[in-house]
Amino acid sequence: MTSNTLTITDNRTGKRYEVPIEEGNVIRATKLRDIKNGPDDFGLMSYDPAFTNTASCKSKVSFIDGDQGILRYRGYPIQELAEKSTYLETAYLIVKGELPDLKHFRVWEHNVKIHTMVHENIKKFMEGFRYDAHPMGMLVSTIAALSTFYPEAAQIHDLESRRLQTRRLIGKLPTLAAFAYRHTRGLPYVYPDNELSYAGNFLAMLFKMTELTYKPDPALERALDVLFILHADHEQNCSANAMRSVGSSQVDPYSATAAAAAALYGPLHGGANEQAIRMLMEIGSVDKVPAFIRTVKEGQRRLMGFGHRIYKNYDPRAKIVKQIAYQVFEVTGRNPLIDIALELERIALQDEYFIAHKLYPNVDFYSGIIYQAMGFPMTMFPVLFAIPRTSGWMAQWAEMVRDSEQKIARPRQVYIGEPERHWTLIDKRREPTMREDQVSEVI
């Protein structure tokens, strides 16, 4: 007879415990607390640094099968959305759970676009940054500053307030991102043009000069929109986890989004495509690729833009990004780094080291090449990521707020520090004697 349970025998006590298996492969970590060595024992807990095998929530937003290379938003394959949808429609799908009909889409588009303007004080706030401020640092701070403009956003249990802040954030992010870019260029900020599409308006706010109306190139506009679709959500990644974790304190969504954007600022998350570009520039030419691959196999380097915690197959987004690259080059001219990237991929995909380690190109391998061809400096790469990911963050946050099983996020720790000891007068203390490894731990 089979049953959906796990039987655990505690060899310290000889006791047996039945733990239910939910959803096919999930056990509740709190069940381990029942396993005690004696009446005063705290009970067992699991230790999982970086949450590599711990589900922190139940979610309906996106699904990844890393072995098969599958990504779906609300059940829809990423390939279909990239081919047929627009970012604004995909954002609706992500935050509301269903694709809109025409009437609902029109209302949604209107509701997002009426929030593209920002308060003039936000503009002044941004003007206060140094001339060479990193645009992502500006974006993170300005998102946080929005919470001071919309104090009603603290009503996180109010459905209408959540909807309003979601539309506001999706509407305002391109404006903040473009202002940050213009600031680093010493150019006047450009106000939104709501006659244009979401991506088209963003391009206008970035690149408009003296012309009365800016006409975005349709190929670049569509390429950017598809890149936005590809970056809209990616289940419990570092920034989504930051959004949920910070949001679980019941802070307003602007503050939680600022925390999520801060997580995205890091080189292991939103900055990986910059590292990929730097690597390609360092390699310099196609003939240097085999030597570079050797250094990677010897463990001296990593092939940036390759490998993924979840995907052990070709990242489905990377395939689409690679196709977009050629469409963009038709307009911008070919970015010569693509030839080095293609050669790296060709050699890596048939090399036994990369095959054995299941290392395939991820979304960051080609995206930087496109952004560079479109004229974006590398400092803008994480900013370009944050714009579309805002819909994912808001969907993850709203799911967390409505989930009755969620509480303030508060992991346990395994304490490995000193046992109890007592304070002494400063002149009675001995010079601390520390081992080398302890010194680096405490500074």
Ligand X SMILES: CC(C)(COP(=O)(O)OP(=O)(O)OC[C@H]1O[C@@H](n2cnc3c(N)ncnc32)[C@H](O)[C@@H]1OP(=O)(O)O)[C@@H](O)C(=O)NCCC(=O)NCCS
Instruction: Select 135 or 305, whichever has its Cβ closest to ligand X.
Output: 305
Q: How many residues bind ligand X (CB under 6 A)?
A: 14
Closest separation in Å from C-beta 232 to ligand X: 15
Instruction: Select 168 or 308, whichever has its Cβ closest to ligand X.
Output: 308
Residue 396 found at the interface with ligand X (CB under 6 A): no
Q: Which of 54, 61, 24, 22 is nearest to 403 (CA)?
A: 61
Binder of ligand X out of 170, 303, 395, 400 (CB under 6 A): 303
Only segment of 100-108, 146-154, 194-202, 299-307 that touches ligand X (CB under 6 A): 299-307
Closest separation in Å from C-beta 365 to ligand X: 7
Contact 109, 100 (CB under 8 A): no
Active site residue 269: yes
The residues near 42 (Cβ < 8 Å, ≥ 6 apart) are: 33, 36
Closest separation in Å from C-beta 37 to ligand X: 33
Instruction: Select 24 or 49, whichever has its Cβ closest to ligand X.
Output: 49
Residue 367 found at the interface with ligand X (CB under 6 A): no
Closest separation in Å from C-beta 269 to ligand X: 8
Instruction: Select 22 or 282, whichever has its Cβ closest to ligand X.
Output: 282
> Which residues in 349-376 are b (16+ Cβ under 10 Å) and which e?
eeeeebeeeebbbbbbbbbbbbbbbbeb
Instruction: Select 247 or 307, whichever has its Cβ closest to ligand X.
Output: 307
Identify residue 82 by its one-letter amino acid code.
A
Residue 362 found at the interface with ligand X (CB under 6 A): yes
Closest separation in Å from C-beta 190 to ligand X: 31
Contact 354, 348 (CB under 8 A): yes
Active site residue 364: yes
Instruction: Select 251 or 310, whichever has its Cβ closest to ligand X.
Output: 310
Closest separation in Å from C-beta 364 to ligand X: 5
Q: Which is catalytic among the residues 10, 34, 217, 269?
A: 269
- CA 245, 251, 256, 257 dihedral sign is positive
Q: How far apart are CA 147 and CA 228, in angstroms?
A: 24
Binding mask 150-179 for ligand X (x = CB under 6 A): ------------------------------
Residues 257-296 within binding reach of ligand X (CB under 6 A): 272, 296
Contact 227, 221 (CB under 8 A): no
Only one residue has tokens 């720790």, namely: 413
As a whole number of Å, the end-to-end CA separation of the chain is: 57
How far is CA 323 from each of CA 226, 242, 330, rounded to the nearest angstrom?
Answer: 11, 32, 12
The angle subtended at Cα 147 by Cα 272 and Cα 109, nearest 5°, is: 75
Active site residue 437: no
- CA 242, 244, 245, 248 dihedral sign is positive
Would you tell me which residues interact with ligand X (CB under 6 A)?
272, 296, 302-309, 357, 359, 362, 364
Catalytic center residues: 269, 308, 364
